[in-house]
Every structure is written in structure tokens, then in C-alpha cells.
Amino acid sequence: MTIRNPRSQTCSGFTLIELIIIIVVLGILATFSIAKYSDFLQESKIAATRSEMTTIKRAIIGNPQMIAGGHYIDVGFAGNVGHPPAQLRELVRKPDTISAYNAISRLGWNGPYLDSAGGDYLKDAWGRDYAYNPTARTITSVGSGANIVVSF
């Protein structure tokens, strides 16, 4: 009968200290990854909101670069009606106080100026309503914590 010394056997595996170090390193990596993802998510919401606000601005004032035959062909709500809408909803629904579009005079409501897709055009990427001020001619988003303002 041979007696083996337990210390002479080779053991494979990790020690408790090594496992703790690996767990700490993975925790640090996860923390940085979550922070970067959060920043990326916030930046993408800001970009989406700016893009949507630019689309709303174009619906209100049109696109001055679209010219055909020496005339602007995309004049938006303000160009057709003579003033900006009192509310953003007027970009998709004709108000009773505004006449229908007349092709001869080129005046009147000629909408919808936006795709109304469930009223999503009224909210920013954070789900908060845009603050619209036709007198100051601004559209403001406050969902990001810092105001995003587009003037028209």
C-alpha cells in the first residue's frame, strides 16, 4: 500500500483570491459599459428629437430650397395660410377658422403637413409634449433635462 502526500498532487482551478479579482474586474467593466450605453441612448434620443423638430419646422415654414418655375413649391402651413399654426395639431387637422386651399390664389389649408401617426409628432423621444410658441416662433423639448429649442 502506497501512501500519497496530498500536497504533492497537482490541483487545477482558481483560488478564492483569483475568483474575487475576476469578479471585481467584471463589475468594473459592466459599470463602464452601462454608463457608455446610457450616454449613447441619451445622445440618440437627442438626435431623434432634433430631427423630428426640424421636420415640424419644415411643416410650418416649408422648405425654401424647393423652387420650381421661379416659385417656392414647399411653403408649409405659414406660406399657405399666412401665419404659423396656433397649435401643432393644426398641421394635421384643418382648423375650422381657416379656409380650404384655393389653387388659384394659392392660399388656404393644404395639409396635412405632417404624418400624424398616432400623435407621436406632438411628443419628443422621452414622451413629453413639445412646448410650442407661435408668437416667439419656437418649438422646445424639455425631455432631455436641457432645453432643445428650434426657431422658425
In a domain, residue 10? The reply is no
Q: What is the pLDDT of residue 34?
A: 84
66 falls within a domain: yes
What is the DSSP secondary-structure string of the chain? -----GGGS---S--HHHHHHHHHHHHHHHHHHHHHHHHHHHHHHHHHHHHHHHHHHHHHH--TT-EETTEES--HHHHHHSS--SSGGGGTS--TTSPBPBTTTTBSB----S--GGGGGGB-TTSPBPEEETTTTEEEE-TTSS-EEEE-
In a domain, residue 6? The reply is no
- Domain assignment present for residue 120? The answer is yes
Query: Would 107 be classed as within a structural domain?
Result: yes
The candidate with the shortest Cα–Cα distance to 49, out of 132, 152, 122, is: 122
14 within a domain of the structure (yes/no): no
Domain membership of residue 5 (yes or no) is no
How confident is the model at residue 86, as a pLDDT?
A: 95
State the pTM of this model.
Answer: 0.73
Q: What is the pLDDT of residue 137?
A: 96
Tens-digit pLDDT string for the chain (152 aa): 556 555 556 667 788 898 999 999 999 888 888 878 878 889 999 999 999 999 999 999 998 888 788 877 889 999 999 999 999 999 999 999 999 998 888 899 998 999 876 668 899 999 999 999 999 999 999 988 889 999 99
Number of domains in the chain: 1
Domain extent at residue 82:
19-151
Assess if residue 72 is contained within a domain: yes
Residue-level pLDDT at 11: 64
